[in-house]
Each structure stands twice: as C-alpha cells, then as structure tokens.
Structure 1
C-alpha cells in the first residue's frame, strides 16, 4: 500500500497485485471478491425462485412492496416474502460490489482514489434525490428516474476511476463493471415489475445476472494471476475451437431463456408468455446443447493429451456441462418441475463462469515462461 511501503518505480507499481500484498487489505479484497461471486450466483437462485413459485408480482410496486409499505404485508402471503427476499438479496449484492470497488481502490490508489470514489457516491445519491423530488410532483415514474440518474453517475465514476489509475487496470475495470451492472440490474428489476413481468425483460434480467457471475469469476482469476503482458498458452486451433465453444454455450443459454419464457413458469398466474411453442423450443434448445457437449469433450481430451495448463479447468467445465445436460434431460422428461428448472438455471450460470475461467487460462503472463 502507498502508506505502508517504500516508493516503487512506475513499472513495478503497475505490476503490483493487491491479492498478493502483505497488507490486511489484500485479505479483505479476497474475501469480498469471493462473496461477490457467491452472492451473484445465489441471486440467480432467488430470482429463479420468484419466477418458479409464481411470486413475480408478490410485491406489486417498486421499490416499495405495496403502495403504502416497503415490506410485504400479511395479505401478500408467501409470494410477497419470496419477492421481497430477492429484492433484499439485491441490496446484499450491491453492498458487496461497493466493498470490492472501495477496497480495491484503496489497495491500488490509496486514500486519494478512495476519497474520489466516495465523492462520486455522495454526488450520485444527492442527484438521484433531486431527480426524485422533481419527478414525483409531476406524477412521473420517480424511482426509475432516480435510479437512472444513479446509474449514470456510477458509469461516470467508473470511467474516471479507470482513466485515472493505471495500476491493475484489469481488476479496476472488472470491479466497476460488476458495480455498475448491479445498479443497472436493480433498475431493470424495477422495470420488470412495472411492465407486469414482460417475458423479454425477464429473460434479459436473467442473462444480465448470468453475465455478472462471469465477470466476478473473471475478477477472481485475474486477482490471483500475475499482472502484466500475457501470451497465448495453447495452440491456435485450440483457442479458436474454445471460442466456438463459447458461441455454442451462448446459443444454448439464449434458447434456454426463450424456452423457459414460453413454458409454464411465467412468474405469475396472470402473466401471458410471448407465444412461442415451448415444445419446439425445447428441442431447438437441445441442439446447441449437444453440440456444446461435443465441443467440450474434444477440448477436454485435447487439453489432457497435450498437457495444457488449462486441462484441469477444462475438467471442471466438462463436469458442469455434463451435469447440466443430465438435469436438462431429466426436467424435460418430468414435465419441467420447478425445482429442476431452478437448478438448471443456476447450473447454466456456473457453466458460463467455468467457461469464463477456461478462456482466461488460454493466455498466461509472459513472465511465467521466463
């Protein structure tokens, strides 16, 4: 840390890794980074529970639960509790994302970077409050407008932070993406409720959450990795096939979202789906899924045959995809029971996170071969 260490050259400073620093802040960063990944995964499960139990409109308003209450009332029953629980989890995820940013900024930029970020945070809260105060008397959607202002300030703060500090810019970018993403997700979640669970917005909400799981996984990888230039650690054909596998994974998830959006789990008994034939989509969803499984099998065998550094993570990805395929077949044959669908949703996020880790191991620090 700048306050506890002798001055370093700019080159050495740029290669400093907060995760390997002896300062107590390094331990805090590791703890919050892992909590960020875990809670981003958990919130996919709680969000799935909202949808699969028909609790999507358990709280009829946003951000209040009812027009007159922040928390659910007894009349709303279990559905209100489930929906409010997911909203509470959003707050937990947001607090942890803020903690990651602040601890990281202190680790790489000292008190000056931390103070600057806090000034932005205060300005965001004040401006959001002003926006609400102006919009409410005009009978405009005050909370969405205030949330949009807070999101805009968060983006400006992220740009300022990344441009103003070259130390571990990779971690800085990933931490800010997570925080801005959480703020954006809260905004999208409110729009989801206000639009009566529009299936396309619900699907976008899920995909965005899944991407945040991938971003937090990427942060963990880079946090433990040596900083600096990186070079390809696998043959070119392996890298190309790995990225094609990512396309197959993305298509599998996309058609999975559309399939769920056309199935029986709409989030509320009165919500209409988008009209696609769920039976047909279920088959279409399986096609890229089987291609994905085949590509992962080829990569796994190749990685072990060539003794590539990525081979152990390929084993993790292969295991995740295998379990995902088995659960997918099982849920289809059982008529899409809610529990299995929820497990399938969480496994999709974990599979995407495992793939993210694999891709990030296709390169290695240049010094690793010195």
Structure 2
C-alpha cells in the first residue's frame, strides 16, 4: 500500500528556516561562552573529547562539560537544518533556489564544526578561532537568504530603488563584513583566549581596536546616508530597514566602547558577539529591501530613470 506524503506548507517551512537562523545565532553565543569561560580546551582533542573518549570525563571538570556541551549543540543545529532540507523537498510546488540554500546551510554546519575542531587541534590559534566565527556568519547569511526566499513569489527580481542606491547598499554590506572580520582580529589580540595557555595574534590591541572603531564609524555613516537616500526616492521599506540597521549599529557600538573602556569584561564580550550576529542580519535586511520578487505577470516595465529588473537565481 502506497503511503501518501502530504506536502509541507510554506508556513512550516518558513518557521523551520527561522529556527535555523536562531539556532545558528545561538551556537555563536554558546561558542563565545566556551571561550569566555576559558573552556576552549575543555576537550583537548577532536573529534574525540579525550584520546580515549568521545564524551567528557569527570576528571575534566566544568571546562570539559562546557566544551562538550557546545559540541553537542552542533548536532541540534544540524538536525534543524536537516529538517529544513527535508521540508523543502516535501514542499509543493517546488521553489527554484530553495533546495540549494537549504543544502548550503546544512553542509555549512559540519564545515563550521570541522573548523572548530581545527581550533582545538591548533591549541586555539587566534586566526583559526576568527575563521570559526566567520564560518558561522556565512551559515547565518545563507539561513537568512533561505528564510526570505520562502515567502517570495517565483517571478523576476525587480529593484525598488535606483541602481546607484543599490550599489551604495552593497558597499555598506561589504563594509559591514569587513568590520566583522576586523573584529575577529581585535578578539584575537585581547585577553579572552579560551584557555590560559592559548597564544594571541600579536597585534597591538589598542591599534587594531582603533582600526575596528574607524570601520564602525564608516559603517554608521554609510547606513545613515542610506536612510536619507531611500527616503528621497520614496522607498519606505528600505528606509525602515536602514533605520533598524543604524539603531542596531549604535547599540553594538555602545557595547563595544563600554567593553573597551571597562577592560573587556566577559559578559559584555558575549553581548557584543550576539550583537555582531544582529548587525549582520540587519545589514542583509537592508540589502533585501532594495529589491523584490514579483509574479511574472505583474512585473512592471521600467525606464532608464526607474529601478531595473534584475534576474537572480535565488
């Protein structure tokens, strides 16, 4: 007897994609907790926790529990991603690009875990630790793209702001990514190495913090410019997204300055890591707000002075 498999609704699929975003942000925060509690080598090897055991042992104490617990959370995040892939396969009608994005998120999680294992095997090399964080950012970006794509129709992509403003939004996104990268350099020069014996990257903390702050000032300036530019062309959705981005950036900036002048307390560093994820998501929201996908029958004709219709694959 053949079983009838019911298609997955768009609502359930959207919820799974949103859960994937939240879970991947959560693994960044818990990964930060591992480092901030000096538990980075709580399990001193990988993929085992010790040479003889895949799980933590009583002799390893709380540090082993924290590190091993974070490793186990990776499986939970992976299960959510797998459920999302299966939901995409069961969704009807099949949507172009959804499966590729869902698979990218799913495969990104073990890839990120491997980078995490390399950080352990290299005794928390600060450059590898930074790459571990950036790998998580890439997975979050893919999960966000999947979530936004689910609720879009399958027609062509149409720009809702003039081409120069779309270029400005892309530049802002690039600067935001650069700020995240430089932020990992700041972290690699600071006091929270994840273990008392872990090396630092050798950069001067004060100098690299200034470079990071300069990047933040540039990012905020570009984001404020986007607000006025979007308002000038009547792009309300894009304006709202840019306002949210500036608010998030200012909040993150306040946390950053306070943690710097209070000698980098662990709690504020953790809040700053969470804020980095929120900044990335707010930046992607602005990028997404400069275009929309419309059903083919309703795609408007554009002129040289209007936004151009730009086909995309996702």
Taking structure 2 as the reference length, the TM-score comes to 0.88
CA contact (8 A) 1:100 1:175 kept: yes
CA contact (8 A) 1:221 1:357 kept: no
Partner of 2:39: 55
Partner of 1:73: 57
Q: How does 1:308-347 map to 2 (within 5 A)?
A: 308=235, 309-347=237-275
Q: Secondary structure at the match of 2:150?
A: helix
Note if 1:185 corresponds to 2:112: yes
Q: Secondary structure at the match of 2:97?
A: helix
- Deviation per residue, 1:247-284 (Å, 9 max, x gap): 21122111110010011011110011121111110001
The structure richer in helix per residue is 1
Q: How does 1:1-370 map to 2 (within 5 A)?
A: 23-108=7-92, 167-308=94-235, 309-367=237-295
- Deviation per residue, 1:68-115 (Å, 9 max, x gap): 332222222221111111101111111111111111012158xxxxxx
Q: Secondary structure at the match of 2:91?
A: helix
**Aligned residues between the structures:** 295
**Alpha-carbon distance in structure 2 between the residues aligned to 1:66 and 1:189:** 16
Higher RCO structure (Cα 8 Å, ≥6 apart): 2
**Alpha-carbon distance in structure 2 between the residues aligned to 1:169 and 1:245:** 28
Structure 2 unmatched ranges of 5 or more: 301-314
Structure 1 unmatched ranges of 5 or more: 6-21, 110-166
Taking structure 1 as the reference length, the TM-score comes to 0.76
Provide the aligned C-alpha RMSD in A.
2.0
